[in-house]
Amino acid sequence: MHAFTGGQDPFLQQDHDINVHEGKEQYMSVSAVYIHPQWNSNNVAGGYDIALLRLSSDASLNNYVRLANLPPAGQVLPNNNLCYITGWGRTQTGGQLSAKLKQAYLPVVDHKTCSSSSWWGSTVKTSMVCAGGNSESGCQGDSGGPLNCQVNGQYVVHGVTSFVSSMGCNTLRKPTVFTRVSAYNSWISGVSKFTVFLKYFPSFY
């Protein structure tokens, strides 16, 4: 993803305030990084803005750390479907990065609307999903974070934060654009099976 530089810094889970050690954080190293092979860092709007990290050890699941649910392959959510973005990004255009994890309600904007000429136009591909466009949005620093959407009574990671308008984080008719996870199920599955293979046959890597 464009927010990922390719380094292997420690992976942190169960954090809320990045400036305060709260005693519940989980630190673990990243043993491998899998960036989509068609990703082009010089063309964020070209799509394929997705990557997977292989952790060196399993996370400890609890009330704060849980496994994410993925959407069915090809699923496209309807207009105004309930979704939430989370991240430590800027709270306004040109503002400071947030020290505390923030959450905002961003309803889905359907592709027909979002790709119309007065909105994002052809910049938005069918492999992307738009959300927000009203009083709240994602901003710089939120990239790579999840868009969790309610589907049939449960939340699924339907999007990965990709980009916002260069005119500002909360520009009219320029909702936050996410990589649509359901467009990449087969790639995710392929990488996941490969990492399981490496777990039992590490000499092949």
Domain of residue 100, CATH code? 2.40.10.10
Cα 69 from Cα 46, distance rounded (Å): 26
- Which pTM value belongs to this model? 0.87
The answer as to whether 76 is a domain residue is no
- With 0-12 / 13-18 / 19 or more C-beta atoms within 10 angstroms meaning exposed / middle / buried, residue 13 is middle
Is 157:136 a contact under the CB 8 Å cutoff? Answer: no
The answer as to whether 74 is a domain residue is no
Cβ atoms within 10 Å of 183's Cβ, excluding its own? 21
Domain count, the chain: 2
The answer as to whether 91 is a domain residue is yes
Cα 188 from Cα 205, distance rounded (Å): 18
The answer as to whether 97 is a domain residue is yes
pLDDT at 201: 43
One domain for residues 20 and 87: no
The answer as to whether 29 is a domain residue is yes
One domain for residues 62 and 87: no
Cα 70 from Cα 185, distance rounded (Å): 8
pLDDT at 22: 73
Ranges of the chain whose pLDDT falls below 70: 1-16, 18, 194-205
One domain for residues 89 and 121: yes
The answer as to whether 108 is a domain residue is yes
The answer as to whether 111 is a domain residue is yes
pLDDT at 16: 67
The answer as to whether 75 is a domain residue is no
One domain for residues 150 and 107: yes
One domain for residues 60 and 107: no
Range of the domain at 139: 81-183
